[in-house]
Amino acid sequence: MCDDVAPRREILTTRQMRAVEGAAIESGSVTGATLMQRAGAGVVNEMAALWPRLLQPGRAVVLCGPGNNGGDGYVVARLLA
């Protein structure tokens, strides 16, 4: 086994992810804003691990569309800035 191979992580469909997020928000254990912050921070952490040069100023471009995923992208952009 190679040391540089990341462990497998389960990937959820968009329907599954909406259900998980919705249940967490409805339970009152977390807010949508907190989930967005966590998602953005997770993306930046993965970028740092895989492509550390992208953390240098002017090395990354973040394109954001409408909706919650666009909000995650704005968090990524803010953290990279």
The string of pLDDT tens digits covering residues 55-69 is 888 888 999 888 778
CA distance 10 to 46: 15
Q: How many CA atoms lie within 13 A of 71 on its CB side?
A: 10
- 4: confidence class by pLDDT, cuts 50, 70, 90: low
pTM of the predicted model as reported, rounded to 2 decimal places: 0.75
For residue 31, give the nearest of 41, 39, 21 by alpha carbon. 21
Which ranges of the chain would DSSP assign to H, the alpha helix?
14-27, 32-50, 68-80
pLDDT at 1: 46
